[in-house]
Structure 1
Amino acid sequence: MNELVQVNMHEAKSQLSELAERVWHGDKVVITRAGKPYLDLLPHIDTPGARKPGRLKGLIRISADFDKTSEDIIDGFEGDL
């Protein structure tokens, strides 16, 4: 579909179910007031849950030599200074 639908506030009140279905099928619905755009009707999108620090504790393993960088790699970054 993907149509732009403009309805006044009174029409929106009486056709809310139909307008909601149109939004779910991809149409953009704009509710007008006094002939000017007033509201956009949008589908609900779930927001991600709050972060919980430590939820991966015990699931990630870091090698014992993680922070030891070999000299050839350091030389590759720093070059001949």
Structure 2
Amino acid sequence: MKPAPATITVSIKEAKTRLTELGRRVEAGERVVVTRHGKAVFDLVPHERKGGIDFKAGQRFLRARGITDPVPYIAEDFDDPLPEDFLSRPLPFD
């Protein structure tokens, strides 16, 4: 289990004058609570990168289930415009 990051508390006025220093401390993993009249207003915390799609993990997942090619065939005309007569045909209603 990771230890909790150190926390310091500063006023807004102090934060304005020490922003560069506070930024370095946040980069080092500390949390800074900024207050106004003694009440917490906001925190300065290290930026967390959001994860994206892990394609390699997806490939491993599919391979483990015997799926080696999830999209085995895509027709050459897949993204061609649809024919006009198809587009003008009324929709079937049940």
TM-score by length of 2: 0.49
Runs of 4+ in 1 over 6 A off after TM superposition: none
Provide the aligned C-alpha RMSD in A.
2.9
Matched residue SS, 2:51: coil
Write the letter of the residue equivalent to 2:66.
Answer: I
Structure 2: 5+ residue stretches without partners: 68-94
- 2:47 aligns with one of 39, 44, 57: 44
- 2:28 aligns with one of 20, 25, 30: 25
- 1:5 aligns with one of 3, 8, 12: 8
- Supply the distance in 1 between the matched residues of 2:51 and 2:66 (Cα, whole angstroms): 28
Number of aligned residue pairs: give it.
59
* Cα drift, residue 51 of structure 1: 6.8
- Supply the distance in 2 between the matched residues of 1:12 and 1:39 (Cα, whole angstroms): 11
* Cα drift, residue 40 of structure 1: 0.9
Q: Give % identity.
A: 40
- Supply the distance in 1 between the matched residues of 2:6 and 2:44 (Cα, whole angstroms): 13
TM-score by length of 1: 0.56
* Cα drift, residue 37 of structure 1: 1.0
Write the letter of the residue equivalent to 1:33.
Answer: R
